Amino acid sequence: MDNVYNRYYIKIRTILGINPKTIHEELATALGSKAPSYRTVAEWTKRFGEGREDVNDDPRSGCPVSELTDENIELVREVINNDPHSTYNDIIAETFLSHGTIERIIHDCLKMKKITSCWVPHRLTDEQKQERVKLCRENLVKFRDGSWRLCGIITGDETWIYHRQIHRKSTNASWIGEDESPTTIVRRGKFEPKNLFSIFFKSNGPVLIHAVDEGNTIDHDYYTENCLKPVVKEIWKQRKSAGTNGIKLLQDNARSHIQSDVINYLTEQHINIMSHPPYSPDLAQCDYWPNDYIKRNLTDQPDEKSLARAVSKAIKKIPKEEFKKTFDKLLERMELCINNHGDYFEHLIK
């Protein structure tokens, strides 16, 4: 019945000379998610513009629509091939099949499912994909022949953390009664307070948790003095006899990380730098695990000092096994990168 009312509206607006885009926007404003798709509005606008009077579906001839005929299957396949983003309403408008039949064809016959498009950080060129494969192969060889060990790697990066935590939509869901209103969560404003943290860790736990003072930026001098030197000091504290011998640093290619003075300092400290391909957060532990983990386990904090304490506490509560797992996953991710010919691969992770 809702479809009939919508078509009456489309018919009247078409007679008044209103274009399909405007009609769809009006229906979307009034009905929200229950509004028909633009494709459906455009199709019925076309029919009414050609002189059609009836707002009901056309009678369906031939085999019952409930039958999964080859003809119906190919009809649905063609609509989806032409527009992979088609909704059920779009397919109904194109094929005149019932919702139930279309659902059975898509899931049982075509073995298809609808998933959200994957967001990627960068459109990689062929050269960048080749570089990713090359570096992953080189690094894997060193791990496999024993010249490198996961326990000898330190990784670190910077991350912004807000004072007010929003978390994911799924964690904000709550049960409500029939007459109750859902809770509301205010979107973050552009200038909401946040602080920058520099976090380094090994396979057995954190090495450095540094809160950058408000107003400071991390250039190569700040990075060396406030991040790398404390990291080196902590390494010597943990490895009194070996010191920095055998230590490798895995970091991204931010300017402050690869500036010549930074490289020279690390060389003087006998710390080797692991080659990291550009645009590769999927191959950096800080991006694919701890930063997100920390933010999910924080509560709202009133100021900079309380946020720093909360972040430090959250990191130190992480079990050592979790740190080891994320380093083991680095090798798995290198394999996935190679097998996916250098392209982003996170959609392949189960």
Query: Is the model's pLDDT at 303 over the cut of 70?
Result: yes
Write the pLDDT tens digit of every residue in 82-115: 888 888 888 988 888 888 889 889 988 898 988 7
The pLDDT value given to residue 62: 47
Q: Return the SS3 of 29.
A: helix
The pLDDT value given to residue 97: 87
The yes or no reply on domain 126-170+191-348 and CATH 3.30.420.10 is yes
Percent of the chain with pLDDT over 90: 52
Write the pLDDT tens digit of every residue in 117-147: 777 788 999 999 999 999 999 999 999 999 9
Q: What is the mean pLDDT of the chain?
A: 88
Query: Is the model's pLDDT at 1 over the cut of 70?
Result: no
**Residue scoring higher pLDDT (260 or 177):** 260
Instruction: Please state the pTM of the whole predicted model.
Output: 0.68
Contact 38, 91 (CB under 8 A): no
Contact 38, 20 (CB under 8 A): yes
CATH architecture of the domain 3-50 equals Orthogonal Bundle (1.10)
Query: What's the rounded Cα separation, in Å, for the pair 85 and 79?
Result: 10
Partner residues linked to 160 by β-bridges: 196
Average pLDDT over residues 284-309: 89
Residue 84 CB-density burial (10 A; 0-12 exposed, 13-18 middle, 19+ buried)? exposed
Average pLDDT over residues 344-350: 83
Taking the CB of residue 307, how many other CB atoms lie within 10 A of it?
21
Percent of the chain with pLDDT over 70: 93
